[in-house]
């Protein structure tokens, strides 16, 4: 019943960078594809980055070339560069497809001048 716990969000200027992190259980980390999702104002939750168990990655068009998902030790990271106001959202870590009972609180990213 434990939820994913996301960290690393905050307030950043346009053009700035942030790194988000979550640490799944060892079983989930080893055997499930992992992903980052976001929920912006007036939008549905969308998948923005995915990493498979063999390290292959996929990105939504809106973030491709700016965001990088990776696995490091026991953590799933999302490096976000050149952030823009449209990136403002609550960011969530989960498997892909998501485990509906494990949605965490998310971490809020606000991009504003």
Closest by alpha carbon to 79, among 97, 59, 94, 98?
59
**What's the CA gap between 58 and 47, in Å, rounded?**
10
Q: What is the pLDDT of residues 58-112, one digit of tens each?
A: 999 999 999 999 999 899 999 999 999 999 999 999 999 999 999 999 999 999 9
Q: What is the pLDDT of residues 3-54, one digit of tens each?
A: 999 999 999 999 999 999 999 988 999 999 999 999 998 889 999 999 999 9
């Amino acid at each position: 019943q434990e939820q994913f716990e996301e960290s690393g969000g905050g307030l950043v200027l346009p053009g700035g960078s942030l790194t988000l992190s979550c640490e799944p259980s060892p079983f989930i980390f080893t055997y499930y594809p992992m992903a980052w999702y976001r929920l912006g104002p007036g939008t549905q939750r969308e998948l923005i980055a995915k990493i498979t168990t063999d390290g292959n990655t996929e990105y939504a068009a809106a973030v491709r070339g700016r965001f990088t998902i990776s696995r490091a030790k026991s953590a799933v990271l999302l490096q976000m560069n050149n952030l823009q106001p449209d990136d403002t959202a609550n960011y969530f870590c989960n498997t892909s497809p998501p485990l509906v009972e494990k949605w965490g609180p998310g971490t809020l990213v606000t991009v504003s001048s």
